[in-house]
Amino acid sequence: MTHYLALVHKEADSCYGVSFPDVPGVIAAGDTLDEAVEKAGEALAFAAEDWHQYAGAPFPAPRSFEALRADLEAATIAREAVWVAIPLRSRFQEAA
């Protein structure tokens, strides 16, 4: 199964936020870490379904942890976050 590395952000008095350095614009949030990670998986699956139609390009491939750490922008954002691996599942799998 393919996994995408995501960043979990949390500030005082806010919900957990999740973003994907490899998939710009795909974000999720939740009141708990578990809820945020679950919603991130749903957002990733939803984005993958129609990405080509709306972006005009194939869905981005996930980079390795080493590649993301070498990316200055991702590394800078990661200073205030925690990395998690989110599996890319079909939304139809999640409904089953």
Band (92; pLDDT cuts 50, 70, 90): low
Q: What is the CA radius of gyration of the chain?
A: 13
Residue 91 is predicted with a pLDDT of 59
Cβ count near 16 (within 10 Å): 21
| pLDDT band, very low/low/confident/very high, at 42 (cuts 50, 70, 90) | very high
End-to-end alpha carbon distance in the chain: 17
CATH topology assigned to domain 3-95: Double Stranded RNA Binding Domain (3.30.160)
Give the start-to-end residue ranges of the domains of the chain: 3-95
Q: Above 60 in pLDDT, residue 77? A: yes
pLDDT at 53 over 80: yes
pLDDT of 95 strictly over 60? no
Q: How many CB atoms lie within 10 A of CB 62?
A: 21
Which residue's structure tokens are 């800078």? 76
Please compute the mean of the pLDDT values over residues 27-34 and round it to a whole number.
97
Residue 77 Cα distances to 2, 45, 90, angstroms? 23, 23, 28
